[in-house]
Amino acid sequence: MTWTVWLSLLAACVVISFTPGAGAINTMSNALNEGWRRSIWGVIGQQLALVVHVAIVAAGVGLLVARSEVLFEIIRYLGAAYLVFLGVRMIVTRPVVAADVADPSRRREGAMSMVRRGFWVNLLNPKAIVFFLAFVPQFIRLDRPALGQYLILIATVIVVDVLVMWFFFAAAAKPFRRFVRTPRGQKILDMVFGSLFIAVAGLLLLVH
Protein backbone atom coordinates (compact mmCIF):
# COMPACT_ATOMS: atom_id res chain seq x y z
CA MET A 1 0.00 0.00 0.00
CA THR A 2 1.55 3.30 -1.12
CA TRP A 3 1.61 6.41 1.06
CA THR A 4 -0.87 8.13 -1.24
CA VAL A 5 -3.34 5.28 -0.93
CA TRP A 6 -2.82 5.08 2.82
CA LEU A 7 -3.41 8.82 3.29
CA SER A 8 -6.64 8.48 1.31
CA LEU A 9 -7.59 5.57 3.55
CA LEU A 10 -6.78 7.61 6.65
CA ALA A 11 -8.93 10.53 5.48
CA ALA A 12 -11.84 8.20 4.69
CA CYS A 13 -11.58 6.53 8.12
CA VAL A 14 -11.67 9.88 9.91
CA VAL A 15 -14.81 10.94 8.05
CA ILE A 16 -16.50 7.58 8.67
CA SER A 17 -15.67 7.52 12.39
CA PHE A 18 -16.98 11.05 12.96
CA THR A 19 -20.32 10.12 11.36
CA PRO A 20 -22.76 9.68 14.29
CA GLY A 21 -24.35 6.27 14.63
CA ALA A 22 -25.19 3.50 17.08
CA GLY A 23 -21.51 3.10 18.01
CA ALA A 24 -21.19 6.76 18.97
CA ILE A 25 -24.41 6.60 21.00
CA ASN A 26 -23.21 3.46 22.78
CA THR A 27 -19.84 5.07 23.54
CA MET A 28 -21.37 8.24 24.99
CA SER A 29 -23.84 6.21 27.06
CA ASN A 30 -21.00 4.11 28.49
CA ALA A 31 -18.96 7.22 29.29
CA LEU A 32 -21.89 8.77 31.15
CA ASN A 33 -22.74 5.68 33.15
CA GLU A 34 -19.32 4.16 33.72
CA GLY A 35 -16.86 7.03 33.25
CA TRP A 36 -14.49 7.94 30.46
CA ARG A 37 -11.81 5.36 31.27
CA ARG A 38 -14.15 2.38 31.50
CA SER A 39 -15.97 3.36 28.30
CA ILE A 40 -12.94 1.94 26.46
CA TRP A 41 -14.37 -1.57 26.97
CA GLY A 42 -17.36 -0.76 24.79
CA VAL A 43 -15.06 0.79 22.21
CA ILE A 44 -12.98 -2.41 22.17
CA GLY A 45 -16.11 -4.45 21.50
CA GLN A 46 -16.98 -2.18 18.60
CA GLN A 47 -13.51 -2.66 17.11
CA LEU A 48 -13.82 -6.43 17.31
CA ALA A 49 -16.98 -6.11 15.22
CA LEU A 50 -15.11 -4.01 12.65
CA VAL A 51 -12.48 -6.75 12.36
CA VAL A 52 -15.25 -9.27 11.71
CA HIS A 53 -16.79 -6.98 9.08
CA VAL A 54 -13.51 -6.66 7.20
CA ALA A 55 -12.91 -10.43 7.48
CA ILE A 56 -16.41 -11.07 6.11
CA VAL A 57 -15.72 -8.83 3.13
CA ALA A 58 -12.26 -10.34 2.57
CA ALA A 59 -13.77 -13.83 2.59
CA GLY A 60 -16.39 -12.84 0.04
CA VAL A 61 -19.32 -13.37 2.40
CA GLY A 62 -20.12 -9.66 2.29
CA LEU A 63 -20.90 -9.96 -1.42
CA LEU A 64 -23.29 -12.80 -0.64
CA VAL A 65 -25.09 -10.66 1.97
CA ALA A 66 -25.25 -7.70 -0.39
CA ARG A 67 -26.73 -9.81 -3.20
CA SER A 68 -29.15 -11.87 -1.09
CA GLU A 69 -32.18 -9.76 -0.27
CA VAL A 70 -33.51 -12.32 2.22
CA LEU A 71 -30.23 -12.61 4.14
CA PHE A 72 -29.75 -8.85 4.11
CA GLU A 73 -33.28 -8.30 5.46
CA ILE A 74 -32.81 -10.90 8.22
CA ILE A 75 -29.62 -9.24 9.45
CA ARG A 76 -31.18 -5.79 9.08
CA TYR A 77 -34.18 -6.68 11.24
CA LEU A 78 -32.02 -8.46 13.81
CA GLY A 79 -29.84 -5.34 14.08
CA ALA A 80 -32.85 -3.06 14.43
CA ALA A 81 -34.43 -5.37 17.01
CA TYR A 82 -31.25 -5.38 19.11
CA LEU A 83 -31.05 -1.58 19.08
CA VAL A 84 -34.73 -1.35 20.08
CA PHE A 85 -34.06 -3.82 22.88
CA LEU A 86 -31.19 -1.68 24.16
CA GLY A 87 -33.29 1.47 23.89
CA VAL A 88 -36.33 0.06 25.68
CA ARG A 89 -34.15 -1.44 28.41
CA MET A 90 -32.54 1.94 29.07
CA ILE A 91 -35.93 3.66 29.17
CA VAL A 92 -37.66 1.22 31.54
CA THR A 93 -34.74 0.26 33.80
CA ARG A 94 -34.68 1.97 37.16
CA PRO A 95 -31.68 4.33 37.26
CA VAL A 96 -28.75 3.45 39.49
CA VAL A 97 -27.27 6.68 40.80
CA ALA A 98 -23.87 7.22 42.39
CA ALA A 99 -22.19 10.43 43.48
CA ASP A 100 -19.00 9.58 41.66
CA VAL A 101 -18.10 7.00 39.01
CA ALA A 102 -14.80 6.53 40.84
CA ASP A 103 -16.63 5.49 44.03
CA PRO A 104 -15.42 1.91 44.75
CA SER A 105 -18.78 1.04 46.34
CA ARG A 106 -20.62 1.80 43.11
CA ARG A 107 -22.02 -1.17 41.26
CA ARG A 108 -20.29 -1.19 37.89
CA GLU A 109 -21.20 -2.91 34.68
CA GLY A 110 -18.76 -5.70 33.91
CA ALA A 111 -16.09 -5.06 31.31
CA MET A 112 -17.12 -8.11 29.27
CA SER A 113 -20.74 -6.97 29.29
CA MET A 114 -19.65 -3.65 27.76
CA VAL A 115 -17.44 -5.44 25.22
CA ARG A 116 -20.31 -7.74 24.20
CA ARG A 117 -22.77 -4.89 23.80
CA GLY A 118 -20.31 -2.84 21.74
CA PHE A 119 -19.59 -5.88 19.59
CA TRP A 120 -23.24 -6.62 18.80
CA VAL A 121 -24.12 -2.96 18.27
CA ASN A 122 -21.56 -2.75 15.45
CA LEU A 123 -21.86 -6.30 14.14
CA LEU A 124 -25.63 -6.38 13.62
CA ASN A 125 -25.53 -3.68 11.01
CA PRO A 126 -25.85 -5.10 7.51
CA LYS A 127 -25.20 -1.70 5.98
CA ALA A 128 -21.74 -1.79 7.57
CA ILE A 129 -21.01 -4.98 5.64
CA VAL A 130 -22.24 -3.42 2.42
CA PHE A 131 -20.30 -0.25 3.20
CA PHE A 132 -17.05 -2.14 3.73
CA LEU A 133 -17.81 -4.10 0.58
CA ALA A 134 -17.71 -0.81 -1.33
CA PHE A 135 -14.96 0.73 0.83
CA VAL A 136 -12.32 -1.99 1.09
CA PRO A 137 -11.68 -2.73 -2.62
CA GLN A 138 -10.68 0.89 -3.22
CA PHE A 139 -7.59 0.39 -1.06
CA ILE A 140 -6.63 -3.20 -1.88
CA ARG A 141 -4.51 -3.85 -4.97
CA LEU A 142 -5.04 -7.29 -6.44
CA ASP A 143 -1.57 -7.39 -7.98
CA ARG A 144 0.07 -7.28 -4.55
CA PRO A 145 -0.05 -9.64 -1.51
CA ALA A 146 -3.45 -9.18 0.12
CA LEU A 147 -2.61 -10.06 3.75
CA GLY A 148 -0.29 -7.12 4.39
CA GLN A 149 -2.73 -4.70 2.77
CA TYR A 150 -5.63 -5.97 4.86
CA LEU A 151 -3.55 -5.73 8.05
CA ILE A 152 -2.66 -2.11 7.28
CA LEU A 153 -6.29 -1.34 6.46
CA ILE A 154 -7.77 -2.87 9.60
CA ALA A 155 -5.05 -1.33 11.80
CA THR A 156 -5.80 2.10 10.35
CA VAL A 157 -9.56 1.66 10.74
CA ILE A 158 -9.22 0.54 14.36
CA VAL A 159 -6.72 3.19 15.48
CA VAL A 160 -8.77 6.02 13.95
CA ASP A 161 -12.07 4.70 15.32
CA VAL A 162 -10.67 4.20 18.84
CA LEU A 163 -9.26 7.74 18.87
CA VAL A 164 -12.52 9.26 17.63
CA MET A 165 -14.81 7.17 19.84
CA TRP A 166 -12.77 7.46 23.03
CA PHE A 167 -11.26 10.91 22.76
CA PHE A 168 -14.17 12.63 21.02
CA PHE A 169 -17.53 10.94 21.64
CA ALA A 170 -16.70 9.58 25.11
CA ALA A 171 -15.02 12.84 26.13
CA ALA A 172 -17.99 14.82 24.75
CA ALA A 173 -20.21 13.12 27.32
CA LYS A 174 -18.21 14.50 30.26
CA PRO A 175 -20.11 17.82 30.61
CA PHE A 176 -23.32 15.84 31.12
CA ARG A 177 -21.89 13.80 34.02
CA ARG A 178 -23.65 16.02 36.55
CA PHE A 179 -27.01 14.65 35.39
CA VAL A 180 -26.20 11.11 36.51
CA ARG A 181 -25.84 12.25 40.14
CA THR A 182 -29.60 12.51 40.66
CA PRO A 183 -32.33 9.94 39.91
CA ARG A 184 -34.21 12.45 37.74
CA GLY A 185 -31.13 13.42 35.76
CA GLN A 186 -30.13 9.79 35.25
CA LYS A 187 -33.64 8.93 34.09
CA ILE A 188 -33.68 11.81 31.61
CA LEU A 189 -30.35 10.70 30.12
CA ASP A 190 -31.49 7.07 29.98
CA MET A 191 -34.64 8.14 28.12
CA VAL A 192 -32.63 10.33 25.73
CA PHE A 193 -30.08 7.65 24.86
CA GLY A 194 -32.73 4.94 24.82
CA SER A 195 -34.75 7.01 22.36
CA LEU A 196 -31.65 7.56 20.23
CA PHE A 197 -31.05 3.80 20.01
CA ILE A 198 -34.66 3.32 18.91
CA ALA A 199 -34.35 6.17 16.40
CA VAL A 200 -31.22 4.60 14.87
CA ALA A 201 -33.12 1.29 14.66
CA GLY A 202 -35.88 3.11 12.79
CA LEU A 203 -33.37 4.59 10.36
CA LEU A 204 -31.86 1.15 9.83
CA LEU A 205 -35.27 -0.11 8.75
CA LEU A 206 -36.48 2.90 6.79
CA VAL A 207 -33.36 4.10 4.99
CA HIS A 208 -32.36 1.77 2.15
Tens digit of pLDDT for each residue in 128-160? Answer: 777 787 777 777 777 788 888 889 999 999 999
pLDDT of residue 66: 65
Q: CA nearest 38: which of 136, 135, 106?
A: 106
The pLDDT value given to residue 95: 64
Evaluate if residue 98 carries a pLDDT over 70: no
Looking at the chain, the whole-number percentage of residues with pLDDT higher than 70 is 88
> pLDDT tens for residues 20-75?
788 888 999 899 888 889 999 999 999 999 999 888 888 877 667 667 778 778 87
Helices in the chain by DSSP H: which ranges?
3-18, 22-34, 40-59, 61-67, 69-92, 111-123, 126-135, 146-164, 171-172, 183-206
What is residue 175's predicted lDDT score, i.e. its pLDDT?
78
pLDDT mean across residues, the chain = 81
What region, left, alpha or beta, does residue 35 occupy, with left being phi > 0 and alpha being psi -120 to 50 degrees? left
- Between the CA of residue 199 and those of 90, 204, 207, what are the distances in Å? 13, 9, 12
DSSP labels, 158-192: HHHHHHHIIIIIIHHTGGGGGGGGSHHHHHHHHHH
pTM: 0.77
